[in-house]
Structure 1
Amino acid sequence: MGGRATGPTVVSEPSQVRLTSVSTCATVSRDLDEPLSGTAATATTWLLLEQPGPWGARALVSSHLEPSLGRALEAAAEGTGVRVALIRRPGRHADFGAPALRQVYAAHTVPGRVWLHGATTHDPRRLLDLDFAALGRGDHRTFDDALCGRPHTGDPLALVCTNGRRDRCCALLGRPLASRLAVAGVRGAWEVTHLGGHRFSPTLLVLPHGYAYGRVEAHTVTEVLHGVQEGRVVLQGCRGRSAWERPGQAAELAVRTATGEDAAEALSVVRTAGDAPRWEVTVAHADGRHWEVVVDQGVSSPPRPESCGTSVLGTPGRMDVVAVRELTGAASRG
């Protein structure tokens, strides 16, 4: 499954690109070779709640989850590093009413403190008993105490964004991928509400490590999940690790590319200096080595639709790595 629309895809005009009736924002982004690095959603901790049935554009408040609960979860997570999303198993999504028992996951993605815990609940309001600040810092005890959570011992989670109400690319490209994974027996496959970057569909988040991927094909997911089980990162199609802000995501991937390091827990972003449009990011290896990475905020051109849901053309920001330098001696110690 290549995930590309057929037929004419873009119409070129002076210094801009627009959608035709048969193209998608994902097709345009792919055809313009928009970089993936440094585009992942940011979250130190993911909190996932099973919610079958249809989802609206803002799924937490426009699904069959009680809207007041969705708003309360959004408010509780704000500023804590926790990102809340809804999940459902791949397949048809007729509304059969509220499920008797829901799956809940929490995953912390910061290297050295990575964990993935699961629980089930009859009452999703119990999620409001969580200490979201502690959860964002990586303390799983609040999850375990409130929901009787336990370490997840099954396969890694493969979360595919399929929310077509948010952007049609997520449905057109994401849902077939999620279904294909389920048919292939990928036990950790779930559909998820929103991972950001519709134009990179199909998009994937893999937990527990929190690496996001774009323009994903089924064989790529197999390689990625095999890598997770071995503690490795697959760089093909990788958008970045959600634990870092976007300059850090780009810097970490640049060091991996330069050194060939693929161990998931080997690299950490330990310092980010500066502000847009230029950052100096220090990336540390578990063995003591350090690198300084210079990241510039660039602009993607020509202007293009950033979503299928708008006719407004935009120039998405991009993280351009302009230098990678290994630090030695006193410089490596900060």
Structure 2
Amino acid sequence: METCSVLSSTYAEPMAGTAPTARGWLLIEHPGPWAAKALTGSRGIDPEIGGTVERRAAAAGFRATLIRTPGRTADLPGASRTVFLAWTEPGNTWMRRLSVDSVEDLLALDFAALAGAAEPEIGVPSDEPLVLVCTNGKRDRCCATAGRPLADALAGRVPGSVWEATHLGGHRFAPTAVVLPDGYVYGRLDADGAVAALDAARTGMMLVAGCRGRSTWSRPAQAAELAVREEAVEHTADVLAVAEPEEHADGVWTVRVDHVDGRTWTVEVTAHAEEPERPESCGKGLLNPLSMRPRLVMPAH
């Protein structure tokens, strides 16, 4: 039986507008093993505590994700855990690093106060971008069979800058990864592409090729931004702002994209049911995945 990632690639399913939506990210080191529902099912994390942290973080705009260094699967009792907080808003991105003794320590954080453009003073600044590769085979086998080899390859090429992650969404685009703090998510990656995305982030840039979208925005907004980037040949990360999409009918939106130089584009985005039916994730039933199809209706002015 063909996997969800093989089928998605075979049918050339568009990736633009498929990134998870998260203005902020909460990354919690937990070597494993990981469960499909990582914060509430993984060994070594009290499910009530993990669930509370996840809910509180989500209410403030942070997506909670477990991370580990590539290849490290055995837990280390008593060892401190690295935690990253990142915010992806264009022009106001930041990332902070701190250490905790357990996930329970995160209950003391006021996530609402930490969220937003103003960089908090918690922990220490983390100035080097990170690449997180989804490798959780309990969530989807494609993430393990495609993601783990990528994470292992990157560990030798960009040591200290790569982490495995429990869930980035879009298993069918595996290997998939997010580069933080900008929040650009990529799919169908190889090691060269991941290194290029990381190198681009170090200089305030991003890659349009292989990009699923910036997690800051909703799915229609992600697709609109990428359409403008392709049209304008624009790779600087923080020069575009995307307005809240205006829905005109079921599955049809108009999105305004503004450049810092004053140019403005209007993009119509339509949700398109892809054919033929296929599983969005291995083991799930057949359906028609919805892709975001952008069309520029008003060029830059």
- TM-score greater than 0.5 by the shorter chain: yes
Letter in 1 for 2:28: L
Could you tell me the percent identity over the aligned residues? 46
Tell me what 1:160 maps to: 133
- Scaled by the length of structure 1, the TM-score of the pair is 0.86
- The corresponding residue for 1:81 is 61
**Post-superposition CA distance 1:256-285 (Å, at most 9, x none):** 000011110110102421153111101011
Q: Which residue of 2 aligns with 1:195?
A: 168
Q: Using the TM superposition, give the Cα deviation of residue 32 of structure 1 relative to its aligned residue in structure 2, in angstroms.
A: 0.4
Q: What does residue 29 of structure 2 align with? A: 50
Q: Structure 1's 80 and 92: CA in aligned 2 closer, same or farther, altered over 3 A?
A: closer
* Larger gyration radius, structure 1 or structure 2: 1
Q: State the partner residue of 2:109.
A: 130
Compute the RMSD of aligned alpha carbons: 1.5
The one-character-per-residue Cα deviations of 1:104-145 (angstroms, maximum 9, x if unpaired) are: 10110010111111111223322222222233333442xx3x
Which stretch shows the higher mean deviation, 162-171 or 283-292?
283-292
How far does the alpha carbon of each residue in 1:152-182 deviate from its partner, in whole angstroms, 9 at most, with x for none? 13x3101000000000000000011001111
From 33, 39, 45, the counterpart of 2:18: 39
**Any conservation in 2 of the 1:292–1:324 contact (CA below 8 Å)?**
yes
Match of 1:299 in 2: 273
Give me the TM-score of the superposition, normalised by structure 2.
Answer: 0.95
Q: Which amino acid aligns with 1:317?
A: L
CA contact (8 A) 2:151 2:164 kept: yes
Q: Number of residue pairs matched? A: 299
Contact 1:118/1:149 (CA < 8 Å) preserved in 2? yes
Equivalents in 1 of 2:200, 2:300: separation in Å?
Answer: 29
Residues 268, 297 of structure 2: 8 Å contact kept: yes
Q: What secondary structure does 1:110 align onto?
A: coil
Distance 2:294 2:141 in 1: 31
Q: Which residue of 2 aligns with 1:175?
A: 148
| Partner secondary structure for residue 118 of structure 1 | strand
- State how far apart, in whole Å, the 2-side matches of 1:263 and 1:25 are: 32
- Once the two structures are TM-superposed, the CA of residue 149 in structure 1 deviates from its matched residue by 1.1
Alignment of 1:92-171 (within 5 A): 92-94=72-74, 96-141=75-120, 144=121, 148-153=122-127, 155-171=128-144
- Contact map agreement 1:231 1:263 (CA 8 A) in 2: yes
Q: Give the Å deviation of 1:99.
A: 4.7
Per the alignment, residue 199 of structure 2 pairs with: 226
Aligned to 2:228: 255
* CA displacement at 1:69 relative to structure 2: 1.3
* Residue type at the aligned position of 1:75: R
Query: Do structure 1's residue 282 and structure 2's residue 262 form an aligned pair?
Result: no
Which letter maps to 2:70?
P
Distance 1:102 1:324 in 2: 49
Instruction: Give, in angstroms, the shift of residue 222 of structure 1.
Output: 1.2
Deviations 1:276-314 (A, max 9, x none): 31111010111111111110111111100111122x101
* 1:264-279 correspondence runs (5 A): 264-274=237-247, 276-279=250-253
* 2:53 partner amino acid: L
Ranges in structure 1 where 5+ consecutive residues have no aligned partner: 1-19, 329-334
Give 3-state SS (helix, strand or coil) of 1:28's partner. Answer: helix
Match of 1:243 among 212, 216, 220: 216
Q: How does 1:202-213 map to 2 (within 5 A)?
A: 202-213=175-186
Aligned partner (choices 19, 22, 38) of residue 59 of structure 1: 38
